[in-house]
Amino acid sequence: MDIGCAHGDYCGAFTSRSYRAVGLDINAELLKECNSLYPQVAPVRADAQALPFHKQSFDAIISTNVLRYIPDIVSTLTECNRIMKDNGRLVLICHNRLCPDTLLKKDPYVVRRYDIISLKRLLSETGFRVLGARMLLIPYRSTPMPLVNFILRHSSTINNLSSKVGFDKIFPEIIVYAVKERELNGKNT
């Protein structure tokens, strides 16, 4: 599932590789575009803070540059935990709040900005174990699957570079890769 799928490019990339994909967005117009571009994607209009799916429905969830618009990120991550199968994977890509470029851009809809430390803490609190977290320089209109493949192939190199050079203040994007580690109490529906 892609939370905040917009036009559905990531979902389309996954379905082109024979995966089933659900595109979730709160914007009905964007979901119509997603459906017309990628008819094999199941579009769902919903709020990420209250996901309309049964417990353990998904193997993987991705969300790219959406977290900053969500008022209650803990509810969203708790919901992701609830609907994700045991050992399911979560990939989050968001703007790095420490990057000067990110700080200079004014977006009236942004609720909060994140850094790697805050994302790791939030994921741990909501039942996930972080497998990797990196700062990245991602061209805005990157093709989804080549980007994902690049990250998987070069994650150790990216990590070594960013820790040695202090790229946390240069790289505009953060990617966090996590696995569902435990079920949260009281979330069994």
**55-97 pLDDT, tens per residue?**
999 999 999 889 989 999 999 999 999 999 999 999 998 877 7
Is the model's pLDDT at 3 over the cut of 90?
yes
- The answer to the question of residue 120 being in a domain is yes
- The answer to the question of residue 139 being in a domain is yes
Residue 101's φ and ψ, nearest 5 degrees, are: -60, -40
- The answer to the question of residue 26 being in a domain is no
- What confidence tens digit (pLDDT) does each residue in 136-184 have? 665 444 445 555 555 555 555 545 544 544 444 445 677 888 889 888 8
Two structure tokens written together for 158: 């990216």
Percentage of the chain exceeding pLDDT 90: 51
Residue 88's φ and ψ, nearest 5 degrees, are: -65, 160
Instruction: Give the residue from 35, 119, 31 showing the smallest Cα distance to 77.
Output: 119
* Domain harbouring 59, CATH code: 3.40.50.150
71-110 burial by CB neighbour count: b if 16+ within 10 A, else e?
A: eebebbbbbbbbbbeeebbbbbbbbbbbbeebeeeeeeee
Euclidean distance between CA atoms 86 and 20, whole angstroms: 18
- The answer to the question of residue 32 being in a domain is no
- What confidence tens digit (pLDDT) does each residue in 34-57 have? 999 999 999 999 999 999 999 999
DSSP assignment of 3-22 equals: ET-TT-HHHHHHHTTT---E
Q: Please give the residue range of the domain that contains residue 130.
A: 47-180
- The answer to the question of residue 17 being in a domain is no
Which H or E run includes 80? Answer: helix 73-83
pTM for the complete prediction? 0.78
- The answer to the question of residue 37 being in a domain is no
Residue of 22 and 141 predicted with greater confidence: 22
Number of domains in the chain: 1
Is the model's pLDDT at 122 over the cut of 90?
yes
How confident is the prediction for the chain on average, in pLDDT? 81
pLDDT value at position 138?
Answer: 52
Residue of 107 and 102 predicted with greater confidence: 107
Q: Are 174 and 67 in contact (CB under 8 A)?
A: no
- The answer to the question of residue 24 being in a domain is no
pLDDT value at position 2?
Answer: 96
Other beta carbons less than 10 A from residue 58's beta carbon: 19
